[in-house]
Structure 1
Amino acid sequence: MTRRQFIAASAALSALLATPLGRPFALVGDALAQEPSPADLAQAGPLGDVVLGKDDAPVTIIEYASMTCGHCANFHNTVYPEMKKKYVDTGKVKYILREFPLDPLAAAGFMLARCAGNDKYHAMIEMLFSKQKDWVVQNPIPPLLALAQQAGFTKDSFESCLKDQKILEAIESVRTHAADKLGVNSTPTFFINGKLFRGTMTMAELDKQIEPLLKS
């Protein structure tokens, strides 16, 4: 990477990191007195949902996560693979991950996943979670670029993605809707057939919630 290209990529990400999210995280997402409406929960953001599993699966899990959230990374690195194998790949669960960035760096991670395309979205998410300790650092640009290049980005496409204001605004709209309409105020937050669960879940806890729904 030339010095000029490095400076350009640095400037793009630095500009993003200097851009505040729509509202401070501490001010969003009061807990709702009741479960959100099915219509509000079904509403995808401007970029749409990237769905894993069968459309007619009896159970739908929607997860709101942040790419810089350590608990989210722990879930995706330790529990998610087993959940996917046991329930998603067998047609029992439809799984949707939605963006709820806690900071601009988390938004950058989601932006790269979106720019990778729907067919690579989840693979990009999983790679970033598995390498979270490498890029959630004081100077995230070099490691984040290196990971993006492993996913097929060039230096130019990396920079272009992180300058894309429309993608950033779309991700922010998902976050705002979740906070205002669904009561999401922390990550990870799960909705299992509409029922809200805050905080990371173990496989045993997922089994406890999913199995009765498969029998009903």
Structure 2
Amino acid sequence: MSPFRFGANRRDFLVFGGALAVAGAPALALAQGESKDAPAAKAPLDLLMAEPPLPDLWMGDAKAPVTIIEYASMTCSHCADFNVRTFPLLKANYIDKGKVRFALREFPLDPLAAAAAMLARCSGDKREAMVELMFAQQKNWAFVNNPLEGLRDLVKQTGMGQTAFDNCLNDQALFEKVNSIRDTAAQKFGITATPTFFINGDKKPGEIAPEALDEVLAPYFK
């Protein structure tokens, strides 16, 4: 059966999510914007850096002294805020200067986020641009009555046509890989909310504001 029914509205996605739970999918207490006061933890680096079911698409110098992995949901408003406000500074001041190596991993909070993540993966070398566009335009597709229609209209801007859109969302193997990344992160790294960052293995839940970026990263450059 196809992961998604075309023309679905938000209620359909909620019903689909319930069906996953009945079918035995792991039950996760997921939320946006976990408190920044949550205790920090360090993930086992061998597990954290193991290649996930969908390969990491790294940005930055492989020899950079700092590695950041972000777990994000495409429907998470805090993730969108980080991407729009903070990530441009991270890229310009750290990634592009060879100081930071960065990768974004999928942690869908709901089936709609999984669909968006799948479409980003299906865009190939346009994935970075697709993610940026989805976060920038999140309110125009994630919080409407017909989110798939909104997504369909959005990805047309990247050149993805109707057939490619339908084929991507009918790709059961891709759907399972996206959710496998989420399940592994929840079970092995204790992620319960998005965004969650791992900076050289140190777990930092919650959005990083632009004005806090330098302070957060400073200890790693001593």
Q: Structure 1 counterpart of 2:26, which letter? A: R
Q: TM-score, normalised by structure 1?
A: 0.87
Matched, 1:101 2:111: no
Alignment of 1:32-181 (within 5 A): 34-117=41-124, 119-136=125-142, 137-181=144-188
Letter in 2 for 1:26: A
Instruction: Give the stretch that moved more between structures: 72-81 or 18-27.
Output: 18-27
Task: Give 5+ residue unaligned stretches, structure 2.
Answer: 32-37
Q: Over aligned residue pairs, what C-alpha RMSD do you find?
A: 2.3
Aligned to 1:195: 202
2-structure distance, mates of 1:79, 1:209 = 12
State the distance in 2 between where 1:133 and 1:59 align: 32
Residue 34 (structure 2) aligns with: none
Moved over 4 A (4+): 31-34
Deviations 1:20-62 (A, max 9, x none): 373233289xx99952211111123211101110111110111
User: What letter corresponds to residue 93 of structure 2 in structure 1?
Assistant: K
Q: What are structure 1's unaligned runs of at least 5 residues?
A: 1-9
Percent same amino acid at aligned positions? Answer: 45
Aligned length: 203
Choose the corresponding residue for 1:24, options 23, 27, 31: 27
